[in-house]
Chain A
Amino acid sequence: MTRPKILPAAFVLLLALPAGAQRGATNGEWRYYGGDAGTTKYSPLDQINAGNVKDLKIVWEWKAQNFGKRPDFNWETTPLEVGGVLYVTAGTRRDAVAIDAATGETLWMYRLDEGARGLVVARAQNRGLAYWTDGKGDERILMISPGYQLVGLNAKTGQVEPGFGTKGVIDLTKGLDRAVVKPGQIGASSPAIVIRDTVVVGAALQSGNAPPSKENVPGYIRGFDVRSGKLLWTFHTVPQAGEMGVETWEKDSWKYSGNTGAWAPLSADEELGYVYIPVEMPTGDYYGGTRPGDNLFSDSLVCLDARTGKRIWHYQLVHHDVWDMDITSAPVLTDITVNGKKIKAVTAVTKQGFTYVFDRVTGEPVWPIVERPVPQTDVPGEKTAATQPIPTKPPAFERQGTSVDDALDFTPAIKAEAQKILSQYKLGPLFTPPIVNDSNGKRGTLLSPSHVGGANWQGGAFDPETGMLYVASVNNPDSLGLIVADPKRSDMGYVDGRGGTARGAAPSYAPAEGGGPTTVRTAPEKNIGPDGLPLVKPPWGTIVAVDLNKGEIAWKVANADTPEYVKAHPLLKGVDLGRTGRPSRSPLMVTKTLLFSADGANLFNAVAGGGGNTFRALDKKTGAVLHEMQLPAYATGIPMTYMVDGRQFIVVAVGAIGVPAELVALALP
């Protein structure tokens, strides 16, 4: 096994930083999913720089194709790197694998055959592993299996730690206050995080668009001792009798409501001993008549003491969610200086396009967050919250709300058609609630950002030296409309009706095929604009730099080139389209020298035109593209970087429709 050798320049930098300051991923390693426990996705490595990035080449590839019964194509993983070894989950089986970080050679693999339990899963996506060491030779890898079991492995051998749980395994479906938890009801798509010898575990559940029942398993947050696997605490994301917030679940709806997990990655502050939990929405994505009230701690950023599970503070970002506005990404720990005052902050970027910034010690907003009146529902049995919290700073990084002025306007005819389509929907500001499909002459409520717009699990990347937060966002309005639930399939009352009838009509032209499976996805099912085009003006995908010291947006650029199917559209011959960006979030990673980005993937919940094979290095100060290169497929995971034997590597997971997942390692010759 090779050991990392730190470049002298990087070493000097590490020594020069004050103790306790944020440094991102230290020691040329990448020990956490997001680089460091604060999920900055920052590394101070600088061997790859603006001058030589053009020389980057693929130095090895590692194929995940045969891990699992079926290949994985949408590998949202980011490997860890510790001491010259990469640790990653692989394939649909979610095997844990150790790989030589310099050569790509497989060192060990661990496979847990869960039988039927592992076949039907709440979420197929997986983002990786957690690492822990006592610093004295005990090194462990923590994996959450598809069937929601926590496994403790010896990092050197890949063997289970027999003293952890029961023969290395803990059944996470136990202790959730439900008599029966069916396979596939609950799982995890993101890794655990280890903080102060405690493994903290979140939860992901099946999509709640049209849930079979208002009753579901709650996604409690739990802490386990990393050595023994002993359960230390459980935080009830749906409060139970006598607990704070239970009154926000009226009509005893806390007794049966579920979800409210934390499916995005978690973050932690080792110094404070706090863990930061991005909690998702409760059961019923678009109808909350079965759970009247604000529904704490849904859609809340929750700060817990990692050793006791005691709530330190929380802030609810959306009251009584009926838009699927989960907190979708790991909170980013951001040490900033605002008006001369140093603040240990925590930042959440969200689907609705806001950047919420809090003092991470106290939970106080760094800039005021104001409760403002919002439009109210007319869906029978529903009661929406009178106000929603709106940050005064920084400005939204995504276009919010819908109006006919947003219409795609490449040509007068296209604009007229787009406005005609827009007029078929209920339009309005952010937090306009869903309507019943085809009611009052409207198909549904057009929402922007939609439940798959704005930021998502790719989250932000933060440069602690400059206070700049980089965010990838998507502008893709989507329609929300409800239908009466078929009582044979659901007791919800109302469920997702996919935004009205006659939606998703096929375009008149045949989208270009050929060019292999990694070309832009052709199925324009979700584009409801003129002739299969997007409904609204570009940019459809952006990278935004938010200056967190000032609370301002420093720059905003299109994330990618204009989608091929738009360029080739017969209605757009000879029209100057500019650089529109693509409706897929660019995975971002930042180093001392560069911001790295890619077209992103389009394998889950993406619309036509998303994804592409291009990997990019951007100027951190301007967003200008300094270098582009082609990967073998779409970047499906967030890139990471590390140094082994004096060489800086960048590794990213890729895959595409029909192209099984693999890791790609880039380095200078």
Chain B
Amino acid sequence: MRGLQIFLLCLPVCVAAGSRSVWDGAYTKEQSARGKTAYLEVCAKCHGETLSGGEGAPALAGKDFVKNWNGRTAGDLLELIIKTMPTDDPGSLSHRQYADIEAYVLNQNEFPAGAKDLDSAPDASKDIRIEEKK
């Protein structure tokens, strides 16, 4: 019983040590720049040039966006984009392009760049939490 208590006390710490957040640098500057090009060509027509939203399309940057995604992961977001975007032809970009676009979205929400690209496989970033605050 005592052993279990120790295990439970340790659990949050152990999980925190093994997971990451978007504040740890989940993408690279170069990836975000590539993502910007793709975003403007494919996404901006609905979500707006400054990611502030448009007719029938929500904002992808700003307080409400981050609040809405708080607690979910970069991998969840990537999976959603791949499955549903662009709305007229979901899944039509390469997974690398989708990851680049998400990198640009993270950049525009002022999450810092890091040393490694956001992986193009959603499962690889399911441990990167999106958090409103550091």
Q: List the interface of chain A (C-beta within 8 A of B).
A: 70-71, 73-74, 119-121, 123-124, 184, 206-207, 209-212, 451-452, 483, 486, 489-490, 495-498, 523, 526, 603-606, 657-658
Specify which of A71, A209, A483, A605 lies most central, judged by the most chain B CB atoms within 10 Å of its CB: A209
* 18 contacts across the A-B interface (CB closer than 8 A): A73-B88, A184-B40, A184-B49, A206-B45, A209-B55, A210-B48, A210-B53, A452-B55, A486-B62, A495-B52, A497-B64, A498-B53, A498-B58, A498-B59, A603-B88, A604-B55, A657-B90, A658-B90
User: A184 with B56: in contact, given A523-B84, A603-B87 (CB under 8 Å)?
Assistant: no
A73 to B92, CA, bound (A): 12
With a cutoff of 8 Å between Cβ atoms, the chain B residues found around residue A71 in the complex are: 89
With a cutoff of 8 Å between Cβ atoms, the chain B residues found around residue A496 in the complex are: 53
Residue in contact with A120 in the complex, picked from B44, B46, B52, B90, CB distance below 8 Å? B44
User: A209 with B48: in contact, given A489-B61, A523-B84, A526-B56 (CB under 8 Å)?
Assistant: yes
A490 to B84, CA, bound (A): 27
Tell me the minimal C-beta distance from B16 to chain A in angstroms.
Answer: 29
Residue of A nearest to B51 (CB): A489
Residue in contact with B52 in the complex, picked from A121, A124, A212, A605, CB distance below 8 Å? A212
CB contact list, B26-57 vs A, under 8 A: 40-42, 44-46, 48-56
Tell me the minimal C-beta distance from B41 to chain A in angstroms.
Answer: 5
Interface residue? B63 (CB, 8 A): yes
Q: Is the CB of A489 within 8 A of B62?
A: yes
Tell me the minimal C-beta distance from B62 to chain A in angstroms.
Answer: 5
A497 to B62, CA, bound (A): 11
Q: How many residues of B contact A (CB 8 A)?
A: 27
Tell me the minimal C-beta distance from A354 to chain B in angstroms.
Answer: 21
User: A486 with B44: in contact, given A184-B49, A212-B49 (CB under 8 Å)?
Assistant: no
A489 to B90, CA, bound (A): 28
A658 to B9, CA, bound (A): 50
Q: Is the CB of A119 within 8 A of B55?
A: no
CB contact list, B80-105 vs A, under 8 A: 84, 87-90, 92
With a cutoff of 8 Å between Cβ atoms, the chain B residues found around residue A523 in the complex are: 84, 87
Tell me the minimal C-beta distance from B15 to chain A in angstroms.
Answer: 27
Tell me the minimal C-beta distance from A502 to chain B in angstroms.
Answer: 10
Tell me the minimal C-beta distance from B36 to chain A in angstroms.
Answer: 11
CB contact list, B58-72 vs A, under 8 A: 58-59, 61-64
Q: Is the CB of A124 within 8 A of B45?
A: yes
With a cutoff of 8 Å between Cβ atoms, the chain B residues found around residue A119 in the complex are: 40-41
Residue in contact with A658 in the complex, picked from B40, B52, B59, B89, CB distance below 8 Å? B89
Q: Is the CB of B88 within 8 A of A657?
A: yes
Residue in contact with A657 in the complex, picked from B44, B54, B87, CB distance below 8 Å? B87
Tell me the minimal C-beta distance from B40 to chain A in angstroms.
Answer: 5
With a cutoff of 8 Å between Cβ atoms, the chain A residues found around residue B41 in the complex are: 119-120
With a cutoff of 8 Å between Cβ atoms, the chain A residues found around residue B87 in the complex are: 523, 603, 657
A497 to B90, CA, bound (A): 26
Q: Is the CB of A207 within 8 A of B48?
A: yes
Q: Is the CB of A70 within 8 A of B92?
A: yes
A604 to B59, CA, bound (A): 16
User: A70 with B49: in contact, given A120-B41, A452-B55, A486-B62 (CB under 8 Å)?
Assistant: no
Interface of B is mostly: loop
Residue of A nearest to B41 (CB): A119
Residue of B nearest to A71 (CB): B89
User: A123 with B45: in contact, given A184-B40, A497-B64 (CB under 8 Å)?
Assistant: yes
User: A452 with B56: in contact, given A70-B92, A123-B45 (CB under 8 Å)?
Assistant: yes
A209 to B59, CA, bound (A): 10
Residue in contact with A605 in the complex, picked from B48, B49, B55, B58, CB distance below 8 Å? B55
With a cutoff of 8 Å between Cβ atoms, the chain A residues found around residue B64 in the complex are: 483, 497
Q: Is the CB of A206 within 8 A of B49?
A: yes
Residue in contact with B48 in the complex, picked from A73, A206, A483, A657, CB distance below 8 Å? A206
User: A70 with B53: in contact, given A119-B41, A210-B59 (CB under 8 Å)?
Assistant: no
Specify which of B44, B50, B61 lies most central, judged by the most chain A CB atoms within 10 Å of its CB: B50
User: A604 with B89: in contact, given A120-B41, A206-B48, A523-B84 (CB under 8 Å)?
Assistant: no
Q: Is the CB of B55 within 8 A of A207?
A: yes
Tell me the minimal C-beta distance from B76 to chain A in angstroms.
Answer: 14
A498 to B89, CA, bound (A): 24
With a cutoff of 8 Å between Cβ atoms, the chain B residues found around residue A604 in the complex are: 55-56
The 7 nearest A-B residue pairs measured at CB: A207-B54, A210-B52, A73-B88, A605-B56, A207-B55, A212-B50, A120-B40
Tell me the minimal C-beta distance from B91 to chain A in angstroms.
Answer: 9
Residue in contact with A121 in the complex, picked from B45, B53, B63, CB distance below 8 Å? B45
Tell me the minimal C-beta distance from B108 to chain A in angstroms.
Answer: 9
Q: A120-B44, A658-B90 are in contact. List 7 more A-B contacts (CB 8 A).
A: A123-B45, A206-B49, A486-B61, A489-B61, A498-B58, A603-B87, A606-B56
Tell me the minimal C-beta distance from A214 to chain B in angstroms.
Answer: 13
A184 to B41, CA, bound (A): 10
With a cutoff of 8 Å between Cβ atoms, the chain B residues found around residue A497 in the complex are: 64
With a cutoff of 8 Å between Cβ atoms, the chain A residues found around residue B46 in the complex are: 207
User: A209 with B54: in contact, given A119-B41, A184-B40, A184-B44 (CB under 8 Å)?
Assistant: yes
A489 to B110, CA, bound (A): 12
A346 to B22, CA, bound (A): 57
With a cutoff of 8 Å between Cβ atoms, the chain B residues found around residue A211 in the complex are: 52
Residue of B nearest to A185 (CB): B49
With a cutoff of 8 Å between Cβ atoms, the chain A residues found around residue B58 in the complex are: 498
Tell me the minimal C-beta distance from A306 to chain B in angstroms.
Answer: 31
Tell me the minimal C-beta distance from B77 to chain A in angstroms.
Answer: 16
Tell me the minimal C-beta distance from B45 to chain A in angstroms.
Answer: 5
Tell me the minimal C-beta distance from A77 to chain B in angstroms.
Answer: 15
With a cutoff of 8 Å between Cβ atoms, the chain A residues found around residue B92 in the complex are: 70
With a cutoff of 8 Å between Cβ atoms, the chain B residues found around residue A495 in the complex are: 52-53
Q: Is the CB of A206 within 8 A of B54?
A: yes
Residue of A nearest to B92 (CB): A70
A227 to B124, CA, bound (A): 60
With a cutoff of 8 Å between Cβ atoms, the chain A residues found around residue B59 in the complex are: 210, 498
Q: Is the CB of A74 within 8 A of B88?
A: yes
A361 to B71, CA, bound (A): 62
User: A73 with B89: in contact, given A184-B40, A184-B49, A483-B64 (CB under 8 Å)?
Assistant: yes
A486 to B86, CA, bound (A): 26
Residue of B nearest to A73 (CB): B88
Specify which of B40, B84, B89 lies most central, judged by the most chain A CB atoms within 10 Å of its CB: B89
Specify which of B55, B61, B63, B90 lies most central, judged by the most chain A CB atoms within 10 Å of its CB: B55
A74 to B40, CA, bound (A): 19
With a cutoff of 8 Å between Cβ atoms, the chain A residues found around residue B53 in the complex are: 209-210, 495-496, 498
Tell me the minimal C-beta distance from B24 to chain A in angstroms.
Answer: 23
Residue of A nearest to B52 (CB): A210
With a cutoff of 8 Å between Cβ atoms, the chain A residues found around residue B88 in the complex are: 73-74, 603, 657-658
A184 to B45, CA, bound (A): 9
Specify which of A451, A523, A604 lies most central, judged by the most chain B CB atoms within 10 Å of its CB: A604
